[in-house]
Structure 1
Amino acid sequence: MPMHWHARLGVLVLLGLVLVPQIYAEGHSKHAGQESHKTKAPTGKIGSGNAVKTTLPMLTTDSRVNASTGLIPQPSSIPVEPADEAPYALHDSVMVRSDLSMSDTDGLHYTFAPPPNVPVYITLSLCAGPSIPPYNTSDDNLMDQLGMSADEARQATLVSLYVSDSSNQKKPGPDQGVDKKFVGYAQGGWSEIPVPKGTKDGLWIGVFPPKDPRGLNGTYRIQLAASTVAQLERVAGEAGVFYDDSDRRTALLTSFNYTTPAPNISLIVLPTDGDFSLASLTYFNSSFCAIFDAWSQFNRSPYAPDVNSSDTTRMTQNVVTRGDQYRDKKKETPLNPHVNDTAGMRPPGDPVALIDDLVVISQRAVNDSTDERTPQARKQFLVSDLMPGHNYTAYLVSTVNQTGTLARTLYPAVKFVTKTNPTCRLVYDLPFCPELAYSIPFNPGLSVEEAMSVMEKMISANYGNFSATLATFPCKSEQFGLYSSVATCDGCLRAYQNWLCAVAIPRCTDLIDPAHSVASQNGTELQGLEMPANTHLYPYVVNRTGRNSSRQAYIDQLFDPGDYGELLPCLSTCEMVMRSCPPLIDWDCPKWTVTAERDYGTFADADSDGLGMGENGGAGKDGARFGGAATRYVAQDAFGNVYCNAMDVDRLLRQASGAVAVRPEWVGVVVLSVVGALLW
């Protein structure tokens, strides 16, 4: 049988070094002494042997930034009943709650008297009430029958908010000619109307039930506030919380990146359905008071989970790491301290900072990646005492105290399901695999510490040989060490370490119906032909059943896991090594249509070749096919579906491909980046 090696280190043959433990493709020879034209380091199995000693880069826990995670109590709200003859007078930054009947055609009315020429934020949340199903606005025939546009049909089922800045219109509402900029609809149970300037007449506010209740009746409990101090409630458009993984009883989630000053962030976890869940995941999913009220009730129940937090530097590394370019050599301070990547998105509230940094970086490429002047961290939340096989929804809330007034930001929710297989055990903060945060297959009766100690020696051996090879390249030389405008040798080592950890330590999940997995279960169907795209959005899971069925033999020997499903590494974990390392390494990865689908998975938006991100239907016409968590390089979505084990490579690829081309005058920067990518 011919040998199909997956990643090569031809230079090791020239240097006479031995890559130990050697790594082989699934189903091929396991004899370390076999020869080939090139010594390659592919995906498959890890053996043992002598190794070059080295020191692995360890997980940094001292991030020098901290975040409070105690959930600040919800602001108190005053129950009020606005009188028909006199609107209720709101007080600055004081929340009120009122009941709004779906049959109340007169609505509820309020007034607010801010100082003239001062901005005002008016926010509305739906705490409880009927959940009106939306119309299918993509059905043109239905829209014709209703005699409405798609926007009109969408708005007709929502509670509406109206604001007037004229005493001639003291009871603003539907069909009264209110300026569109002063009209809001409680999409997801929340709406906000910013008023640029208060007037001498004050402000007049009306809240009305949905125009089309679709046969439902009942009463809404609303929460309303007006503030000249701050946005009391803001719903963020960017992702803020990210699901790492879970086992039967625990789950791990992490926040966005932050620097100093650290934010005050809190995690709320609710059942997705059943008791203590929101009345509707779509009608109330952005409502502050509905989420806080549900959490308050759930937290008092015997089923409430424990949430503990700590700082981590996992997933904070940017693609561009040439630290010297951030510095003003004379002042020894960062030229731009705002680099704060959040899963490939621009930092909240700082839309051009990352781009500015890339412009600086493109001006001078130096191989110095030791800049630590703007340390970044994430808050990781360990949620325990969950129920096996249950669906949960997590919300991240950020709170800022502005002169005694609390302003909150609610980030988009993420969903996840706990596992049922007791073999899967959640691990994280491994010093030798700092980006690893997922469940591994492990016998519950064994010691995790002892097995991880053995794993550390094995991974260190491979890392040491690779590091010794890379050390022959003049990485620190400005004259000879520049092989890319954006990649560094440090990035090469990180990419290799992440790949090594992904293939050495399998990611455990529940067993799956093979018909609902797009991974090759035994390799027999791989004939080098084009495989269909993953149109059903199934995960790349291989069932490991029976003795000695694991990808690596030592997994069965050390961990004695029993039957489990393995979520395969993303092919891009291998390709990131090829992109990040100098040509000297001569790294290569398996072809998707030949052998890769036995050892790797790929992103949900990949085409039939395993590449072409944004293909396979992409994120959909409205960009919400994956729940808004990401639109490209989708290794997991906001609905709790995980397609392949990315080890952070999805975020890095989004950052690399989406960080430039915002300003048209930066064509030169884009061209430079493309050239750098070709050199990767």
Structure 2
Amino acid sequence: MRRLGYACTKLRLLPLLCASCLLTPILLVLLRPHHVCAANGDTLTHEDHNYPRLQTLPELLELEVDGGNYESEFVGADRSIIGRAEDGVTALANNAPGISTIKQGSTDFWTFPSKALWGVSSPPVPGLPSPLQGQSSSPTPAAGEKILYISLTTCIQPSPKSANQNGTPDQFKFYVSTSSSNQKPNNSDNAIAVPVDGGFGWLNISVKSDVFIGVFAPYNTDFSGTYNYQLTASIDGFYASYYNEPNGDFIDSDSNTALLYTKSVTSETTSNATSVFQKWMSGPPAFSMFVYKQDDPRILGIQNSYCALESWAPVQVSGAIGTSMTLIRDGQPRQQFHVTNLNGSSSYYATTVIHGNSTASGGGYVNGGGTVWNPLNFTTKSDNNCALVFNLTFCTSVAYAAPSNPTNKTLSPMLGAKYDDYAASLYTNFSRSLAQIPCNTTASAQYSLARTCTDCDNAYRDWLCAVSIPRCEDFSNNASYLQPRAVNQLFLNGTNGSVTSNDPVFKPDNFSRVYYSSSRNPMIDTDIQPGPYKEILPCKDLCYELVRSCPAALQFGCPLEGHGLNWSYGDSIGMHLYPPTCNSLSSSKGGAAVLRGMGFSAVFMAFGTALITVMI
């Protein structure tokens, strides 16, 4: 019996011993001290004493171990914030906008987790041919940290409850925290308050771990509806951008259209052009433009946000519609916009933008949210007898409003060509005279050691185009620097035109003077017949430059002060203002400016001092 009992006991213990042998390795792993892998602790972004177990049993616990960082995988939850962020905090991914519609008085909370901060950058895509002039370089992060770029754009804002309601809804309150103890930042001492202006706010910050963001929508009893916005964080650069100065200049307008330029996109010119210059000039236009009335309440308050402009701006010029590259000012590439379908005597804002990064847009792309510049403001002309002329073949530097007659339906579409052909025909006599000068000769035989025949030709061409294509202003404009023209003719509506006593330049005997009663170019009165208008006189420097640049044998000379100069030319001091007090083809603000001033009948009858005199 004892032997049998012993045998039975052995049979009972055998399964237990086998089970113990199988379980022992697993128990040793699970019960091993936590500090065994302490040497690897410096690879962890956050201290976690479960790390050794996770290294050993990732397949059992379904965990991802990546260079010492791990994240739980639970269906329906964002892995990046499980166990790190509080409830109600939503995680952002790199260059992926968080889009939210939020009620007034509510707050959204977001986080950009450490894994995304130290994760993979978005893939680069082609953008602009070269960085724009004046853009600042990226900041340098602190040691062991990275720069995080955060941008907020308001796409939709509440509407006024009353049609007579003035003002705009309040701007978002936008707070950023880098402390895990303040995961829902608001107006507190340990949160950064980011200003939001015109629907846009941005911040770049040097960080090493999780970043938390709070977006508060203010409540205003005078407005109804919700806000919609995009919040984006990026380790590569700002997803959306805004610059608080305009990108370009307003050049001129007529009653229904306007002409605007961007700033030069590169300092290269035709004389030092590289492949960058060629890419700017031959590639698709990089900029777009939004134009809207200044009293349009829909866009006010969100005018600095690209997504808002894209949704609300009623007039948009983009791509190849009304836009092209130009070298008109100083040989540097600029983009030109011809905005149409405007109303006369109306004030507008014109905002230059880049859609995405110019070649790609939307989530996943660096700068995919677009760039906005501060708007230009301009007012269209009220009278209807000035029309924009530009992109001419001979007078390539002319781009402004010239006298016109919209009632002549045959002439109107060909107005620019008519002026250009007329100037080109008058250039012929000058070119024949200049051809008699020994231009290609030794330095000692040239007429000047400082100027060449090319300089003379350019100066004459500029002067000729300016005086043959006057820069037109409304007759109702009473600025003191304007010269009334054709004052004895009828207005286009059939009423009699004359300078009244309210005009600063009113003098009773002026009605008998040729420079008041007619245009400087006889073709304008005979073929175009614009009626009374006013003209910005050409700058004196244009006349002086012609005299300096050409051979003395041509006998060019400028009229004297008090003896024709004041009626022929304007003061060059105001040439860089807008509106310019005189018109210069090299003006930086007056557009492709123009000379104004001499009587045309006397100009081309002979070369000599009569060339630059004025009809009286």
TM-score of the pair, normalised by structure 1: 0.52
Please report how far the alpha carbon of residue 293 of structure 1 lies from its aligned counterpart in structure 2 after TM superposition: 1.5
Superposition CA RMSD, Å: 4.7
In 2, are the aligned partners of 1:94 and 1:225 still within 8 Å (CA)? yes
Distance 1:431 1:183, change over 3 A: same
* SS of equivalent residue, structure 1 residue 388: coil
Provide, for residues 320-359 of structure 1, a one-character-per-residue CA deviation record: whole Å limited to 9, x for no partner: xxxxxxxxxxxxxxxxxxxxx5xxxxxxxxxxxxxxxxxx
Larger mean Cα displacement after TM superposition, 165-174 or 431-440: 165-174
Q: In the alignment, which residue of structure 2 is the partner of 1:122?
A: 150
Distance 1:453 1:642, change over 3 A: closer
Whether 2:348 is the aligned partner of 1:396: answer: no
Please report how far the alpha carbon of residue 396 of structure 1 lies from its aligned counterpart in structure 2 after TM superposition: 1.9
In 1, are the aligned partners of 2:348 and 2:378 still within 8 Å (CA)? yes
In 2, are the aligned partners of 1:94 and 1:226 still within 8 Å (CA)? yes
* SS of equivalent residue, structure 1 residue 499: helix
Please report how far the alpha carbon of residue 490 of structure 1 lies from its aligned counterpart in structure 2 after TM superposition: 4.4
* SS of equivalent residue, structure 1 residue 249: coil
| Among 247, 256, 272, the residue aligned to 2:293 | 272
Distance 1:98 1:564, change over 3 A: same
Whether 2:576 is the aligned partner of 1:634: answer: yes
Distance 1:398 1:584, change over 3 A: farther
Aligned pairs for 1:335-374 (under 5 A) are 341=332
Partner Cα separation in structure 2 for residue 467 and residue 288 of structure 1: 54
Partner Cα separation in structure 1 for residue 461 and residue 386 of structure 2: 23
Whether 2:503 is the aligned partner of 1:501: answer: no
In 2, are the aligned partners of 1:569 and 1:599 still within 8 Å (CA)? yes
In 1, are the aligned partners of 2:285 and 2:320 still within 8 Å (CA)? no
Q: In the alignment, which residue of structure 1 is the partner of 2:490?
A: none
| Among 98, 114, 122, the residue aligned to 1:96 | 98
Q: In the alignment, which residue of structure 2 is the partner of 1:285?
A: 303
Q: In the alignment, which residue of structure 2 is the partner of 1:207?
A: 215
Q: In the alignment, which residue of structure 2 is the partner of 1:171?
A: 184
Please report how far the alpha carbon of residue 521 of structure 1 lies from its aligned counterpart in structure 2 after TM superposition: 5.0
* SS of equivalent residue, structure 1 residue 231: coil
Provide, for residues 15-54 of structure 1, a one-character-per-residue CA deviation record: whole Å limited to 9, x for no partner: xxxxxxxxxxxxxxxxxxxxxxxxxxxxxxxxxxxxxxxx
In 2, are the aligned partners of 1:569 and 1:601 still within 8 Å (CA)? yes
* SS of equivalent residue, structure 1 residue 392: strand
Provide, for residues 274-311 of structure 1, a one-character-per-residue CA deviation record: whole Å limited to 9, x for no partner: 55x6442xx4332222212113x667xxxx99972454
Partner Cα separation in structure 1 for residue 504 and residue 202 of structure 2: 38
Aligned pairs for 1:528-567 (under 5 A) are 548-567=517-536
Aligned pairs for 1:584-599 (under 5 A) are 596-599=565-568
The one-letter amino acid paired with 1:519 is: L
Provide, for residues 640-660 of structure 1, a one-character-per-residue CA deviation record: whole Å limited to 9, x for no partner: x5554333323699xxxxxxx
Distance 1:390 1:232, change over 3 A: same
Distance 1:652 1:416, change over 3 A: closer
Larger mean Cα displacement after TM superposition, 184-193 or 245-254: 245-254
* SS of equivalent residue, structure 1 residue 511: coil
Partner Cα separation in structure 1 for residue 150 and residue 435 of structure 2: 61
* SS of equivalent residue, structure 2 residue 203: strand
Aligned pairs for 1:293-372 (under 5 A) are 293-295=311-313, 308-309=321-322, 311-318=324-331, 341=332
Partner Cα separation in structure 2 for residue 476 and residue 162 of structure 1: 72
Partner Cα separation in structure 2 for residue 596 and residue 284 of structure 1: 50
Partner Cα separation in structure 2 for residue 429 and residue 317 of structure 1: 15
* SS of equivalent residue, structure 1 residue 649: coil
Q: In the alignment, which residue of structure 2 is the partner of 1:436?
A: 398
Higher relative contact order (CA 8 A, sep 6+): 1
In 1, are the aligned partners of 2:151 and 2:239 still within 8 Å (CA)? yes
Q: In the alignment, which residue of structure 2 is the partner of 1:464?
A: 431
Q: Which runs of 5+ in 1 are unaligned?
A: 1-82, 133-156, 319-340, 342-376, 523-537, 603-609, 614-632, 654-680
Q: In the alignment, which residue of structure 2 is the partner of 1:333?
A: none
Partner Cα separation in structure 1 for residue 198 and residue 506 of structure 2: 34
Partner Cα separation in structure 1 for residue 327 and residue 377 of structure 2: 21
In 2, are the aligned partners of 1:474 and 1:481 still within 8 Å (CA)? no
In 2, are the aligned partners of 1:541 and 1:568 still within 8 Å (CA)? no
The one-letter amino acid paired with 2:152 is: L
Whether 2:554 is the aligned partner of 1:568: answer: no
* SS of equivalent residue, structure 1 residue 460: helix
Whether 2:459 is the aligned partner of 1:451: answer: no
Q: In the alignment, which residue of structure 1 is the partner of 2:14?
A: none
* SS of equivalent residue, structure 1 residue 497: helix
In 2, are the aligned partners of 1:539 and 1:642 still within 8 Å (CA)? no
In 2, are the aligned partners of 1:428 and 1:437 still within 8 Å (CA)? yes
Q: In the alignment, which residue of structure 2 is the partner of 1:380?
A: 336
Provide, for residues 628-650 of structure 1, a one-character-per-residue CA deviation record: whole Å limited to 9, x for no partner: xxxxx5332xxxx5554333323
Partner Cα separation in structure 2 for residue 476 and residue 395 of structure 1: 53
Partner Cα separation in structure 1 for residue 220 and residue 455 of structure 2: 56
Please report how far the alpha carbon of residue 458 of structure 1 lies from its aligned counterpart in structure 2 after TM superposition: 4.2
Aligned pairs for 1:19-98 (under 5 A) are 85-98=87-100
Q: In the alignment, which residue of structure 1 is the partner of 2:585?
A: 647
Please report how far the alpha carbon of residue 506 of structure 1 lies from its aligned counterpart in structure 2 after TM superposition: 0.8
Please report how far the alpha carbon of residue 434 of structure 1 lies from its aligned counterpart in structure 2 after TM superposition: 0.2
| Among 201, 226, 238, the residue aligned to 1:191 | 201
Higher gyration radius (CA): 2
Provide, for residues 462-507 of structure 1, a one-character-per-residue CA deviation record: whole Å limited to 9, x for no partner: 65267448x55679959989956xx876455434422332222111
The one-letter amino acid paired with 2:100 is: S
Partner Cα separation in structure 1 for residue 110 and residue 445 of structure 2: 70
| Among 236, 258, 261, the residue aligned to 1:254 | 261
The one-letter amino acid paired with 2:155 is: C
Partner Cα separation in structure 1 for residue 247 and residue 349 of structure 2: 14
* SS of equivalent residue, structure 1 residue 554: helix
Please report how far the alpha carbon of residue 440 of structure 1 lies from its aligned counterpart in structure 2 after TM superposition: 1.5
Partner Cα separation in structure 1 for residue 522 and residue 471 of structure 2: 15
The one-letter amino acid paired with 1:456 is: A
Q: Which runs of 5+ in 2 are unaligned?
A: 1-84, 119-144, 161-169, 266-276, 486-502, 592-616
Q: In the alignment, which residue of structure 2 is the partner of 1:51?
A: none
Please report how far the alpha carbon of residue 569 of structure 1 lies from its aligned counterpart in structure 2 after TM superposition: 2.6
Partner Cα separation in structure 1 for residue 95 and residue 210 of structure 2: 15
Partner Cα separation in structure 2 for residue 496 and residue 94 of structure 1: 57
Provide, for residues 199-223 of structure 1, a one-character-per-residue CA deviation record: whole Å limited to 9, x for no partner: 2x3211123457xx99966664433
Distance 1:562 1:482, change over 3 A: closer
Q: In the alignment, which residue of structure 2 is the partner of 1:510?
A: 474
Partner Cα separation in structure 1 for residue 155 and residue 236 of structure 2: 23
Partner Cα separation in structure 2 for residue 588 and residue 249 of structure 1: 39
* SS of equivalent residue, structure 1 residue 121: strand
* SS of equivalent residue, structure 2 residue 585: coil
In 2, are the aligned partners of 1:499 and 1:573 still within 8 Å (CA)? yes
Please report how far the alpha carbon of residue 394 of structure 1 lies from its aligned counterpart in structure 2 after TM superposition: 1.9
* SS of equivalent residue, structure 2 residue 321: strand
Distance 1:459 1:257, change over 3 A: farther
Q: In the alignment, which residue of structure 2 is the partner of 1:108?
A: 108
In 2, are the aligned partners of 1:573 and 1:649 still within 8 Å (CA)? no
Please report how far the alpha carbon of residue 436 of structure 1 lies from its aligned counterpart in structure 2 after TM superposition: 0.5
Distance 1:479 1:130, change over 3 A: farther
* SS of equivalent residue, structure 2 residue 152: strand
The alignment of Structure 1 onto Structure 2 pairs a total of residues equal to 425
In 1, are the aligned partners of 2:481 and 2:581 still within 8 Å (CA)? no
Partner Cα separation in structure 2 for residue 519 and residue 388 of structure 1: 20
